[in-house]
Amino acid sequence: MEVQKEAQRIMTLSVWKMYHSRMQRGGLRLHRSLQLSLVMRSARELYLAAKVEALELEAPSPPAPCPQDPRLHQAREAEVPAACPPPDGEPPEPMDAQEAAEEAAAPPRAAELPARCSLRPARVGRKRRSSSNPSDGVDAGLAPSKKARLEEQEASAEPPGRLPPASAPAEGAFPNLARVLQRSFSGLLSRGPAAAPTAPPARDATPACRAADPVLRVLVRTVVAF
Amino acid sequence: MKCFSRYLPYIFRPPNTILSSSCYTEADIISTVEFNHTGELLATGDKGGRVVIFQREQESKNQVHRRGEYNVYSTFQSHEPEFDYLKSLEIEEKINKIRWLPQQNAAYFLLSTNDKTVKLWKVSERDKRPEGYNLKDEEGRLRDPATITTLRVPVLRPMDLMVEATPRRVFANAHTYHINSISVNSDYETYMSADDLRINLWNFEITNQSFNIVDIKPANMEELTEVITAAEFHPHHCNTFVYSSSKGTIRLCDMRASALCDRHTKFFEEPEDPSNRSFFSEIISSISDVKFSHSGRYIMTRDYLTVKVWDLNMENRPIETYQVHDYLRSKLCSLYENDCIFDKFECVWNGSDSVIMTGSYNNFFRMFDRNTKRDVTLEASRENSKPRAILKPRKVCVGGKRRKDEISVDSLDFSKKILHTAWHPSENIIAVAATNNLYIFQDKVN
């Protein structure tokens, strides 16, 4: 559990850093974004490994194959309508505009996940109940989770955002990211990174199952896509 | 290594900051330090886009044993903040690197770069000015032709020495990502600039074109796994250069092999030690600086905790590894929280390639003698450095009982970091940048 909490804390911290790196002069730094995403990936793997261990301890019977988390399904659904802002007309440097469009499209998907990830541990029980029918409509799976999130969120900030509005024209390098981050992480940011830094726990156990989180994998990739 | 315990500190900064060293603006933070090829000049760049050049005094005949001191020679604004309207991004004016060109005439030339633009500056002296023009008066205004009745030839008269810096070339719009390195080629006609994903080759005379020689940008940016962190030309072979990556690898490329050097000639990588694997392993293995030795036989790389020396003839592991501050290995999580884990330290060789130097925290810097395998930790601080005093070696106490002069790991000041240092090309003179202060230390002669 400690390991899970630590991993969650580091994931939250990484997202916070990535959000703030937008604000700094000179814009987002590719190297820094890459390093942050690497840490997030390590934290995610550690978190999942710890979660798998916890699940194995709680339920000695063989665990469900690659936990079908309805939230992951929802997030995958959420990705699809995320629009790719069109490049600005015929730019003189097409490569730059294309890159800006790629980069703008990629992060919004990334933005949704950490908010949900960070609020996960408290609702493991609830997750397992709703995971029994993962193929239910998105809304059926979505609604209980959203209610749970609203009930348990201590901060008064608005709930994690829905899908970013589609087809927003490119206002800058990362327009959708700006909107999504502002909405999604207001709760996260009001909590801020936890105090009392501790040494990172050693990763003693490799996760039993890695295939469970295709969307989280996308998170890492899209974050890297800066 | 006895010379390293006998350094005389000099502190040089423009006068208005010496008096108030504790309160400085962010623009005063030194971001690069570089000696020229003779060591006569020392250039510093700061976050405010300024370049300050120091010149060594000529040794006087009266005081033969007194080494020349460095005084301010020229100050100019190299880069200004800019705004990229297409991407809505501000471009910082911070000087990332300065590189000198070898001197070929009376003027000095240097390259300075920020995140996007490289500039070639000419620094020249003027100690005479022409007087006695026919058509202009003394203030430079045109004279009424009706009043001109005689013809005279202008003559050069001495004036107070003036050092002027003029931008001779501006190399812009060639980098999508942030420039981290520039390196002058040994042919003195070309140089390269490297950003996170690409390296471009320039000719000094041509500013509107550059050749792309390395491009590691993947077709799908989601597949990006590493970036270029530093690059340098070989000191003697104009066809050879190296670049380091965020994964801790170094690639040596030969420009004769192909126009686009995407395939390396040599690949230097050390297998990871599984016992050292931690949560932040990938971050701390990123190489922040790579430098060829003066001989051209070795390369030195700096990652977060170590300095490594590689032989160009052996790719599978470095020949020497030096621990800079291994006591930080257990503090990586805290260093991640306060962003210190992202600090990019540089490393330098001395003139004979026998000693290497790099910075650390708490204004400490470290020197490693490759021959005797001895190392020393010194501190660059105003309190500890009186003029003509000898620098005392410092020691960090890792655990257990702390001795009198030792400092414990938890007492280290991580806001005081030495990222940039330089070593005179032939003498034991070092320049150490500590935030907004520049310290110049010389070896004591007698």
Predicted confidence at residue B349, as pLDDT, reads 98
A61 pLDDT band (50/70/90 cuts)? low
Predicted confidence at residue A104, as pLDDT, reads 39
**A30-to-A21, A218, B186, B221 alpha-carbon distances in Å:** 10, 17, 30, 11
Predicted confidence at residue B399, as pLDDT, reads 77
Mean pLDDT along residues B123-128 = 93
Whether chain B has a CB inside 8 Å of the CB on A142: the answer is no
Chain B hits for A96, Cβ within 8 Å:
86-87, 176
Mean pLDDT along residues B47-70 = 81
Closest residue of chain A to B335, computed from CA coordinates = A197
Distance from CA of B86 to the nearest CA of A (A): 7
Cα torsion B347, B349, B350, B354 to 10°: value is 120
Global pTM reads 0.73
More confident residue, B399 or B110: B110
Helix (H) or strand (E) holding B400: none
Chain B hits for A17, Cβ within 8 Å:
339
Which of A34, A106, A218 has the CB atom closest to B246's CB atom? A34
Percent of chain A predicted with pLDDT > 90: 11
Predicted confidence at residue B269, as pLDDT, reads 96
Mean pLDDT of chain B: 90
More confident residue, B283 or A93: B283
A192 pLDDT band (50/70/90 cuts)? very low
- Residue range B198-218, pLDDT digits in tens: 999 999 999 999 999 999 999
Put simply, the answer to whether B222 touches A225 (Cβ < 8 Å) is: yes
Is the model's pLDDT at B24 over the cut of 60? Answer: yes
Distance from CA of A47 to the nearest CA of B (A): 12
CATH superfamily label, B2-10+81-107+114-120+168-442: YVTN repeat-like/Quinoprotein amine dehydrogenase (2.130.10.10)
- Residue range B257-300, pLDDT digits in tens: 998 988 899 999 999 888 878 789 999 999 999 999 999 999 99
Distance from CA of B85 to the nearest CA of A (A): 9
Chain B hits for A221, Cβ within 8 Å:
222-223
Put simply, the answer to whether A30 touches B279 (Cβ < 8 Å) is: no
Put simply, the answer to whether B222 touches A25 (Cβ < 8 Å) is: no
Is the model's pLDDT at A211 over the cut of 90? Answer: no
- Residue range B326-382, pLDDT digits in tens: 999 999 999 999 999 999 999 999 999 999 999 999 999 999 999 999 999 999 987
- Determine the Cα–Cα distance for residues B139 and B2; give it in Å rounded to an integer: 59
Predicted confidence at residue B64, as pLDDT, reads 55
Is the model's pLDDT at B325 over the cut of 90? Answer: yes
Q: What angle do CA B216, B222, B225 make, to 5 degrees?
A: 50
Distance from CA of B227 to the nearest CA of A (A): 6
- Residue range A131-173, pLDDT digits in tens: 444 444 434 433 444 444 444 444 444 443 433 333 333 333 4
B102 pLDDT band (50/70/90 cuts)? very high
- Residue range B238-268, pLDDT digits in tens: 999 999 999 999 999 999 999 898 889 999 9
Interface of A with B in 163-182 (CB under 8 A): 171-173
**What one-character DSSP code corresponds to residue A195?**
S
Name the burial class of residue B401, with classes exposed (0-12), middle (13-18) and buried (19+) by CB atoms within 10 angstroms of its CB.
exposed
Predicted confidence at residue B61, as pLDDT, reads 65
Reduce the DSSP state of residue A181 to 3 states and report it: helix
Which of B332, B334, B342 has the CB atom closest to A35's CB atom? B342
- Determine the Cα–Cα distance for residues B100 and B120; give it in Å rounded to an integer: 9
Cα torsion A74, A194, A22, A7 to 10°: value is -50
Contacts of A188 (CB under 8 A, 6+ apart): A12, A15, A16, A114, A115, A118
Predicted confidence at residue B370, as pLDDT, reads 96
Mean pLDDT along residues A51-57 = 86
Cα torsion B239, B244, B245, B249 to 10°: value is 100
- Residue range B10-21, pLDDT digits in tens: 444 333 333 335
**Substitution target from A16, A25, A176, A177 for chain B, most B beta carbons within 10 A:** A25
**Strand pairing of B50-56 and B41-46?**
antiparallel
More confident residue, B443 or B102: B102
Domain residue extents for chain B: 2-10+81-107+114-120+168-442
- Residue range A103-119, pLDDT digits in tens: 433 443 444 444 444 44
Predicted confidence at residue B200, as pLDDT, reads 98
Mean pLDDT of chain A: 54
- Residue range B154-212, pLDDT digits in tens: 899 999 989 999 999 999 999 999 999 999 999 999 999 999 999 999 999 999 999 99
Please provide the DSSP assignment of B15-30 as one string. HHHHTTSSS--GGGSE
Contacts of B368 (CB under 8 A, 6+ apart): B307, B322, B355, B356, B357, B374, B375
Chain B hits for A98, Cβ within 8 Å:
none
B122 pLDDT band (50/70/90 cuts)? very high
